[in-house]
Amino acid sequence: MSIILITGASDGIGLEAAQQLAQQGHELVLHARSAEKSQHARASVLCTAHNAIIHTAHAELADLASVLQMANDLNTRLPRLDVLINNAGVYMTERKLSRDGVEMTLAVNHLAHYLLTALLLPLLRKSPEPRVVTVSSVAHMGGRIDFNNLNSEQRFDAYYAYANSKLANALFAAELARREPWLASNSLHPGVIDTKLLHTGFDMTGSKVTDGALTPVFLATSATVKGVSGKYFDHCKATPAAASVNDVALAKQLWQWSENTIGRIFNL
């Protein structure tokens, strides 16, 4: 069975995915913002999967030093990592900056996962079939990467910031697939799911979280997608993403921006 790390596993799609994966017998690492939240998630999963092997990890994704600390800890603790599910996400109704000075939506949804993935590549290399699953959204189709306004310096619109971050997720997954052909990197739309993010951002209800977990669990475990990489999935099927996701130059520019931003933050 696989060792699978899920970010944002304390509620919503992340917690439901953990429940499903634990019941399949996989060894899990559940990430949350705090040790207390990750322990609570672990206890919740163990209620239905009593014999599951579950580790916890915590990091504030809006603080890249915290992400670095968690990654270093996991690189020490784990023998390998088979699957990384980049699931955590936020929807900000007003402009706020992360501790590192990055607009919060982009910082949490994209930049933290960019850094975490990069730091965990050594663990993923130890897996015979490594996979990185990045939760994007159909909202990515409304995004547009404007490098003059990535931090919403000139203007802030909550939906625009969210859609941009989800486009960044899809671009990141596609570029990772090109740069690291030894692993499978795919992004997905989980559906319009009844989570706190949906309530905050859209003031509506959606489908059950059991439905939202289906595609990330499928991409993390299914033999039918073994070796499949660089695709965007919806309802467990590869489907066309926005045309901009296939813009290789744009993906490379976003990757370079991410790398440069992290270098500035850590004075590299």
Tens digit of each residue's pLDDT (9 = 90 or more) over 253-267: 999 999 999 999 998
For residue 100, what pLDDT is reported?
97
Q: Once rounded to an integer, what is the mean pLDDT over residues 11-34?
A: 97
- Is 162 part of the annotated catalytic residue set? yes
Options 91, 114, 160, 162, the catalytic residue: 162
Q: Which residues pair with 5 in a beta bridge?
A: 29, 84
| Rounded Cα–Cα distance for residues 162 and 177 (Å) | 23
- For residue 152, what is the DSSP state? -
For residue 144, what pLDDT is reported?
95
Q: 3-265 maps to which CATH number?
A: 3.40.50.720
- Residue 114, classed as helix, strand or coil, is helix
> How many residues in total does the chain contain?
268
Report domain extents, the chain.
Answer: 3-265
At 204-215, the pLDDT tens digits run 565 677 788 999
| Rounded Cα–Cα distance for residues 214 and 198 (Å) | 18
Burial of 95 (0-12, 13-18, 19+ CB in 10 A): middle
